[in-house]
Amino acid sequence: MKKITVIGTGYVGLVTGACFADLGNFVTCLDINKKRIDDLHNGVMPIYEPGLDQIVERSYKAGRLKFSTDYAEALKDVEIIFIAVGTPSGENGEADLSYVEAAVQSIAEVIEGPFIIVDKSTVPVGTGDWIDGMLQNHANGKTFDFSVVSNPEFLREGSAIGDFMRPDRVVLGSKNPNAIAAIEELYAPLRCPIVKTDIRTAEMIKYASNAFLATKISFINEIANICEKVGADVIDVAKGMGLDNRIGPKFLNAGIGWGGSCFPKDVKALAHIAREYGTQPQLLEAVIKINQTQRMRIVEKLELIFDGDLNGKKIGVLGLAFKADTDDMRESPAADIIGALVKKGAVVRSYDPEAMDQARKILPDAVRLCENPYQALEDADALVLATEWNEFKQLDFKKVSKLMARKIVIDGRNIWDPEFLTGLGYRYYGVGLGKYAI
């Protein structure tokens, strides 16, 4: 079993550390945020991720998982260091590497013995070489034996534990074959395919993967918009496409666009890299633009329904997180939609099973946050479904019909049966459903 330190206790760092500890390794999760570390010592999770609290508690009680804010303590006699800090978007879409740089500098100041640095943060191509150079520059005269490995993460929020324990593949990039072999051994219990390559290729695999998935979503959303005009059904279109093995059914669900911590910043960062190297990222720019306009189509539909005047209209919005099974509201389509509605004078009430605390920090003060979906729909002129939580799939629409002032439903994720709702007297509008288009 290895002695591992994971720097960063966000989605990637905490899941990575907890899962490696669950596999029998001795792991220290390091973060400079003292409150976050204190909370973790007390069993309080900084994020909502199904199953994470149980894994953390199990390994913590067994003594395999520790939490610290002290670099010297966390890196003492460590064999493998994972960097899993944030790389948010900069002003021009570039990845901000300041947290990575701070982590590397702190490592260089206290590290002693031979070690492997594994970069798990999503970083621009060339960052692994940059980390190598930084370690040398900040060594303060010390000489130590180290290697750098790129090991990009492919964890989906809401299913991160399963993605770690049952990965489609693990990507390892380094110029040192022995370092790759050491990290390959770490992942051996997972019995998954290992892609071994150089650092820059590993870094590109991550960006290319996320950009392709975002492209599939933007593509089907553009097809959905065409379906509404020509009278076709995007659900059946996606089914007919997805049965082709060359295409596949995943990420072909039309809706209100993608958000979260990965797709938005990664597609922007890849486009920025392309421009830096003198190429024109025309497809990536189109993918970004389609996603930005897709969420606003909900607002446009409401304006059409209410003859261009949303002032004073009461809109109940169900779902605030960017996707189900997470409390993450970064780049949430719901937040943009609500912001636009408030600017147009609408009265918005909303509810989400997990993201209410995050919503209080992000949404306009005028938005009323409710205790349950039914409270959000009291006296509402329209219902907007923004996040496909299971809780909403079995909504009691007979009860809802008695609560709402007008029985208007905009299903931004196509989770409800249009015929059932129209049979109850609702005006139903989905995404890409020609029969139910405005």
pLDDT digits (tens, 9 = 90+) for 364-399: 999 999 999 999 999 999 999 999 999 999 999 999
Output the pLDDT for position 410.
98
Output the pLDDT for position 140.
67
Output the pLDDT for position 6.
98
Residues 80-102 pLDDT 10s: 999 999 998 888 888 899 999 99
Mean per-residue pLDDT for 126-138? 87
Residues 31-58 pLDDT 10s: 999 999 999 999 999 999 999 999 999 9
Output the pLDDT for position 141.
66
Residues of the chain with CATH 3.40.50.720: 3-197, 213-436
Domain 3-197 has CATH 3.40.50.720: yes
Active site includes 192?
no
Looking at residue 190, the DSSP 8-state letter turns out to be G
| pLDDT over threshold 80, residue 144 | no
Mean per-residue pLDDT for 19-33? 97
Instruction: Report the candidate in 438, 376, 383 with the shortest Cα–Cα distance to residue 408.
Output: 383
Of the residues 19, 227, 262, 370, which is catalytic? 262
For 173-281, where are the alpha helices, taking DSSP H only? 177-187, 199-230, 234-242, 263-276
In CATH, which superfamily holds the domain spanning 213-436?
NAD(P)-binding Rossmann-like Domain (3.40.50.720)
Q: What backbone phi and psi angles, to 5 degrees, belong to 172?
A: -130, 125
Distance of alpha carbon 117 from alpha carbon 133, whole angstroms = 13
Residue identified by tokens 């093995």 is 245
Residue identified by tokens 């013995």 is 113
Q: Which residues of 79-98 are buried (b: 16+ CB within 10 A; e: fewer)?
A: bbbbbbbbbebeeebbbebe
Tell me the pTM: 0.92
Q: Tokens in use for 6?
A: 């994971």
The rounded percent of the chain whose pLDDT value lies above 70 is 99
pLDDT band at 332 (very low <50, low <70, confident <90, very high): very high
Residues 275-295 pLDDT 10s: 999 999 999 999 999 999 999
pLDDT, the chain, mean? 95
